[in-house]
Amino acid sequence: MWIYEKKLQYPVKIKNPNPKLAAAMISQLGGPDGELAASMRYLHQRYGMPYNEVVGILTDVGTEELAHLEMIAAIIYQLTRNISIENIKGTMFEPYYVDHTTGMYPIAASGVPFDMKYVGVKGDPLADLAESQAAEQKARVTYDNLIRLSDDPDVTDPLRFLREREIVHFQRFGDAMRVVQDKLDGKNFYAFNPAFDKKTR
């Protein structure tokens, strides 16, 4: 089970609303490399993972991504609070406003709603961990892009924290990859799938 803790992992305190910036930030909520995709990817990859250490890291990183999902939602919530229709007209936020007002809907900055097609679960430890490592780098690039777009230090500060987490998670998944490869090297030179081909475990 999961337990909700009533605080953000890192503070989000944005003084000035900015719907235009919110329209860019929304991609880390429901975009292809966003936090929702990240948590869904790691939490579901766990079931096909035959090694305890790797299930552990997927559980803990997947759980941390849920905390990041709430941080991103907090950024968007605070960027769109107390805004008038005049703040919205003619900005990138206008199409989102038509469909969702200032509600929180997981969608990419390009306007595509969240899709599990962003997430790869192959049921093979090497394939899934390679996917997860790539996902962390893609999320890091998205944060790079958002930091370049942000002209508000109140927004940039939590984005820097989140970017740093992508780097640490990439590192830990790299360690997990070594764990898997060490186990495969013994009797499984040809990388048969240890999650399915039972004799290779």
Partner 1 sequence: MDKFNPAMSQGCSCERNDDLLTQLRQMDFAIVEVTLYLDVYPDCCEAKEYLETMRAKRAKVAAEYESKHGMLTMYGVCGESSDKCAHWPWHYEAN
Binding site for partner 1 (CB under 8 A): 3-14, 53, 56-57, 60-61, 64, 70, 73-74, 77-78, 80-86, 101-102, 168-169, 172, 175-176, 179
Cβ nearer to partner 1, comparing 11 with 153? 11
CB of 195 to partner 1, least distance (A): 18
**Spatial distance between the Cα atoms of 60 and 110, rounded to a whole number of angstroms:** 30
CB of 64 to partner 1, least distance (A): 6
Cβ nearer to partner 1, comparing 149 with 177? 177
Tokens of 49: 């993972």
CB of 199 to partner 1, least distance (A): 26
The neighbour count for residue 95, using CB atoms within 10 Å, is: 11
Cβ nearer to partner 1, comparing 42 with 118? 42
Cα 5 to chain center, whole Å?
19
CB of 90 to partner 1, least distance (A): 13
Cβ nearer to partner 1, comparing 10 with 192? 10
3-state SS, 9-68, equals CCCCCCCCCCHHHHHHHCHHHHCCCCHHHHHHHHHHHHHHCCCHHHHHHHHHHHHHHHHH
113: phi then psi, degrees, rounded to nearest 5: -65, 155
